[in-house]
Amino acid sequence: MQTKHQIQNLLTSAGVRPNKRLGQHFLIDLNLMRLLVDSADIQSDDIVLEVGCGTGSLTEALVQKAGKVIAVELDYTLADIVKTQLSNTDNLEIFNVDILKNKNTLNDTIINAIESAKKQHKGHLLLVSNLPYNVACPLMMNLITGPTTADRMYVTVQKEVASRMTAAPGTHDYGKLSILLDATGEIKKIRILKPTVFWPQPQVDSAMIGFIRKQEKVSQIGNMGNFDRIVNLFMGHRRKTLLATSKLEHDGLAKGINWPEIFERCHINPSKRPENLTSEEYVTFSNAI
């Protein structure tokens, strides 16, 4: 793990500064970094995906625990620093790519790297990262809905994102991310992080979040793709009634479906608003369709 001074020296030697456009805020509190790693409970046959590895400070701790670490860094200079710093590490692959192929798809290179790692390591797939703010939500949603799914996620994110992850139905922050996480596992806030534990300091608080995927919950979802489409349709019009939203077309969902019958079968009041449905109701709704 690297102190603030060590990170600054690495960047100075490379002739660069933190890139605000890429949301580069380095976690410099080593105790919090240890807390993140310890909370993840990484085992020797686990595969860890780290997104936004920076100068490799957290990466150093991950490679000591995991069977395989797949580190992703969009910034070429930072990726090169990590390759130099950890050049003698045999259980690490570093990729200088965008983790997302598009908003709804992971990068093929990373998917292939994960699938290759699974042939040698039979443990769990974990996302353990100080996540760049601009990819946090789409990345986690991709790792929930699949086809490549994470068994556990231990991440630092903006406090605002953390609130969206843990929000209850009917609240301002409740949305697609809240529903997907609650429908597929258990989530908890581990610690609120003040700006002072990062360099450069962000303008907002952050939070450390843990998520464990629960197979007993996932098995209740008949078709994950259909579930995702249903949540997209209705939460895209969260303040309309369910009945009004059902008349809007989205990916063909509004065609050929007897919505009143679906509402009745699911015992869901069509005058309710999508933002007030629980994740369990969305699962029931999706399965009925």
Q: pLDDT band at residue 134, thresholds of 50, 70 and 90?
A: confident
Q: What is the largest CA-CA distance in the chain?
A: 66
Under 8 Å between Cβ of 233 and 248: yes
The CATH classification of domain 4-215, taken from the options 3.40.50.150, 3.40.50.10880, 3.30.465.10, 2.40.50.140? 3.40.50.150
Q: pLDDT band at residue 15, thresholds of 50, 70 and 90?
A: very high
One fold for 4-215 and 224-288: no
Global confidence as pTM: 0.95
Predicted local confidence at residue 81, as pLDDT: 97
Instruction: Give the pair of three-digit tokens for residue 152.
Output: 């556990």
Any bridge partners for residue 193, and if so which? 206
- Number of C-beta neighbours around residue 168 at 10 A: 10
Q: Where are the domains of the chain?
A: 4-215, 224-288
Q: Residue range 16-33: average pLDDT?
A: 92
The CATH classification of domain 224-288, taken from the options 1.10.3720.10, 1.10.275.10, 1.10.8.100, 3.40.50.10190? 1.10.8.100
Under 8 Å between Cβ of 99 and 110: yes
User: Residue 85: helix, strand or coil by DSSP?
Assistant: helix
Q: How far apart are CA 139 and CA 141, in angstroms?
A: 5
Radius of gyration (C-alpha) of the chain in whole angstroms? 20
Q: Is 90 exceeded by the pLDDT of residue 257?
A: no
Per-residue pLDDT tens over the stretch 162-194: 999 999 999 999 999 999 999 999 999 999 999
Instruction: Give the pair of three-digit tokens for residue 19.
Output: 């890139």
Per-residue pLDDT tens over the stretch 33-75: 999 999 999 999 999 999 999 999 999 999 999 999 999 999 9
Q: Is 80 exceeded by the pLDDT of residue 255?
A: no
Per-residue pLDDT tens over the stretch 188-235: 999 999 999 999 999 999 999 999 999 999 999 999 999 999 999 999
